[in-house]
Amino acid sequence: LNFDKSLKIIDVGCGTGRHAIELTKRGYSVTGIDLSESQLKRAREKAENENLVIEFISLDARNLPFENHYDVAIMLCEGGFPLMETDEMNYDILKNVTKSLKNTSKFIFTTLNGLFPLFNSIDEFHEDLHHENEAQYKSNHFDLMTMRDHNITTFIDDEGVEHRIKCNERYYMPSEITWMLKSLGFKTVDIFGAKLGDYSREDKLTTEDFEMLVVAQKNVLI
Q: Could you read off the pLDDT of 143-193 as tens digits, one per residue?
A: 889 999 887 878 776 677 787 888 888 999 999 999 999 999 999 999 999
Answer whether residue 45 is part of any domain. no
Answer whether residue 14 is part of any domain. no
Provide the greatest CA pair distance for the chain: 50
Whether the Cβ atoms of residue 101 and residue 68 lie closer than 8 Å to each other: yes
What interhelical angle do 174-183 and 87-100 show, nearest 10? 50
pLDDT exceeds cutoff 90 at 84:
no
Q: When comparing pLDDT for 9 and 126, which is higher?
A: 9
pLDDT tens-digit series, residues 20-50: 999 999 999 999 999 999 999 999 999 999 9
Q: What number of other Cβ atoms are within 10 A of residue 112's Cβ? A: 23
Using a 10 angstrom Cβ sphere, with 0-12 exposed, 13-18 middle and 19 or more buried, the burial of residue 105 is buried
Answer whether residue 180 is part of any domain. yes
Answer whether residue 76 is part of any domain. yes
Nearest-5° Cα angle at 3, 110 to 13 = 30
**CATH at 188:** 3.40.50.150
